[in-house]
Structure formats: structure tokens, C-alpha cells
């Protein structure tokens, strides 16, 4: 799937996955608005099936296949949430799933992939090893590849979260902010947002220690070699080709946050919103609080990407 998706693809995805996905709630907090200097609207994808937005893209990819291709099984590589999403979508479709995961994966996320019935294949904790492992599985099984972010079907599915958000708000948004790693969520967010209004600014958020997307967009080329070291286990990939092409056209910018700022934002979301979120889901709020100038006085939608937190490894213990 190499063609760039558009708003029609996102709307088609929304119709396709409607029987399977949850229409997640939005939440607001006056105290967080006061801290941020803007009005924040949180789209709570931590309440999505499998605990993350990833189910949207996985579901769209799996259910877009014809019966013959689906019967071959689905192969992917993942640091956790996408793998669980593919496993669950394949389970619902009644077809096999094969998920290559790095040895650094959180135990809770690995267990979720296995619980949904997928075959789990371990690899070294690098993107090269993940991609090589996925290629080996496809060669062995003949399964259909569904990349976690460099896949138009996945990107279109991820964009449905923003379509819902724009339907749910009571007044127009000025900005939408989403985490960025491989870029599937942010690029889908951008397509959906600008498909509804070209006036909406689209900002990415990423850890300062994994700021390849910010650097890639600033330099106009994909930076694929980056010494990524972050608590955000869902944000350790580098920007994919399709997302990069989309974000070069649609993204306003990418803001970063330090590890301490991400942990602090995560605690704030626990305390003020009563939300269990993983570190990757707190990076958007952390970046807004760290760099308030682009957001001051605006209505800002925030995609809360997931809640699959390892409770044995809380970062403030």
C-alpha cells in the first residue's frame, strides 16, 4: 500500500471499522486548562479496544482484505500496541496473526499479543531486526504484511480518531496534537483534520531523546539513524516514508518534552483526569506544557494514544 491516503480513505475506514471499534469519550479539565493556558480536549483512546488507538488502523487493514488474502494470515512487527491490535483484529476475522516483537517489549504488552491468539516471535530491540524478522515470517508463512505505520490502510484507520473528535467537540478546534513515532497516528490525524478544515493546526509531540520526526521535518529528509532512548516504549520507531510525505505537507510542527516532563504530565493525567495512561500517551500534554506559545488561548484537541501501562514499573516508584 504505497499510495498516500486522503480524507475519503479515512471516511471509508470509519465506516468499515464501525462495527468493531469503540467511540471513545472526550474529557476536559479546568485545572489543566489553567496550567496550559489553553482549552484542552482529550480524546481518550486509552479506552479503545486493546487499550490504544492502534486498533483502528489494524482493524481497517485486516477487514479491508479479501477472504483469500486474509486466510493467509497477517504478519507485522511491533513494540506492543500495534501487535495486540493486529492480534485482536485477526482473531475477530478468524485468521492467523504473526507478530515480531523486540526483546525490550513491556511484559504486559507481550502478554496481550499472546492472549489474543497471535504467534509471538522475538527479535533484537532495533527497527532493522524488527523489519528483518517480519520479512522472515512472511517468507515462511505467506502471510499478508501490515506495517505498523508505513501502510496507507493503517494511516487511514488511525485518522478516524480525529474524525470522531471533530464530531464530538461543541466548538471548532484550532489545533490537534498527537504523539509521533513512526508517524501513522499523526499523519492520519493530519489528513482527518485538514479534510474537515485547513485552518486546524496539526502538531506532533515526541520525546526530546527521540526527536527524529522534528529533525526530519526541519531538514526536509527522513532521519532514520537516531540514538533513541526514552521511557515511551511506543515511541521508539523512526518516521516512516508514507507518514513523512504526509506530514511534510500537513504538519505545523513537532514539539518535544524531556523524560521528566513526560512523567510529570503522566502524573497530572492520573490526578486531574483520573486516566491510566502509558508514557507515550502523556507526551502530547507534556509538550504543550513545555512549549505553551503555539497553543496559548486556543482550543486544542489532544489524542491520548493508549493506556497499556506496566503497573509493576510505574516511573515514579
Q: Could you read off the pLDDT of 285-315 as tens digits, one per residue?
A: 999 999 999 999 999 999 999 999 888 778 8
First to last CA, the chain: 43
Q: Could you read off the pLDDT of 232-288 as tens digits, one per residue?
A: 988 988 999 999 999 999 999 999 999 999 999 999 999 999 999 999 999 999 999
Residues 96 and 65: their CA atoms lie apart, in Å, by 13
Q: Is residue 52 within 8 Å of 309, Cβ to Cβ?
A: no
Long-range contacts of 21-28 (CB under 8 A, 24+ apart): 21/48, 21/49, 21/55, 21/56, 21/59, 21/160, 22/47, 22/48, 22/49, 23/164, 24/48, 24/161, 24/164, 26/165, 26/168, 26/169, 27/273, 27/275
Q: Could you read off the pLDDT of 178-228 as tens digits, one per residue?
A: 999 999 999 999 999 999 999 999 999 999 999 999 999 999 999 988 888
Look at residue 234 in the predicted model and tell me its pLDDT: 86
Look at residue 1 in the predicted model and tell me its pLDDT: 46
Amino acid at each position: 500500500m504505497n499510495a498516500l491516503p486522503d480524507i475519503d480513505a479515512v471516511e471509508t475506514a470509519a465506516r468499515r471499522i464501525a462495527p468493531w471499534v469503540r467511540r471513545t469519550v472526550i474529557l476536559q479539565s479546568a485545572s489543566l486548562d489553567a496550567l496550559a493556558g489553553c482549552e484542552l480536549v482529550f480524546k481518550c483512546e486509552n479506552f479503545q479496544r486493546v487499550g490504544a488507538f492502534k486498533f483502528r488502523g489494524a482493524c481497517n487493514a485486516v477487514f479491508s482484505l479479501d477472504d483469500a488474502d486474509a486466510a493467509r494470515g497477517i504478519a507485522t512487527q511491533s513494540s506492543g500496541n500495534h501487535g495486540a491490535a493486529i492480534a485482536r483484529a485477526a482473531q475477530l476475522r478468524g485468521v492467523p496473526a504473526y507478530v515480531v516483537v523486540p526483546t525490550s517489549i513491556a511484559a504486559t504488552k507481550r502478554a496481550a499479543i499472546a492472549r489474543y491468539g497471535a504467534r509471538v516471535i522475538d527479535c533484537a530491540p532495533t527497527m532493522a531486526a524488527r523489519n528483518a524478522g517480519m520479512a522472515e515470517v512472511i517468507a515462511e508463512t505467506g502471510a499478508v504484511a501490515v506495517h505498523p505505520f508505513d501502510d496507507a490502510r493503517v494511516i487511514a484507520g488511525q485518522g478516524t480518531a480525529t474524525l470522531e473528535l471533530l464530531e464530538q467537540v461543541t466548538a471548532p478546534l484550532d489545533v490537534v496534537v498527537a504523539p509521533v513515532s513512526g508517524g501513522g497516528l499523526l499523519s492520519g490525524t493530519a489528513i482527518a483534520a485538514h479534510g474537515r478544515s485547513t485552518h486546524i493546526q496539526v502538531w506532533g509531540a515526541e520525546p526530546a531523546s527521540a526527536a527524529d520526526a522534528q529533525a526530519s521535518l526541519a531538514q526536509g529528509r527522513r532521519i532514520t539513524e537516531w540514538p533513541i532512548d526514552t521511557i515511551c516504549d511506543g515511541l521508539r520507531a523512526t518516521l516512516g516514508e508514507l507518514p513523512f510525505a504526509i506530514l511534510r505537507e500537513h504538519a505545523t510542527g513537532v514539539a518535544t518534552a524531556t523524560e521528566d516532563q513526560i512523567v510529570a504530565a503522566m502524573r497530572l493525567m492520573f490526578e486531574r483526569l483520573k486516566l491510566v495512561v502509558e508514557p507515550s500517551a502523556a507526551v502530547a500534554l507534556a509538550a504543550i506544557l513545555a512549549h505553551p506559545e503555539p497553543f496559548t488561548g486556543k482550543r486544542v484537541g489532544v489524542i491520548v494514544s493508549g493506556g497499556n501501562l506496566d503497573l509493576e514499573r510505574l516511573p515514579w516508584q
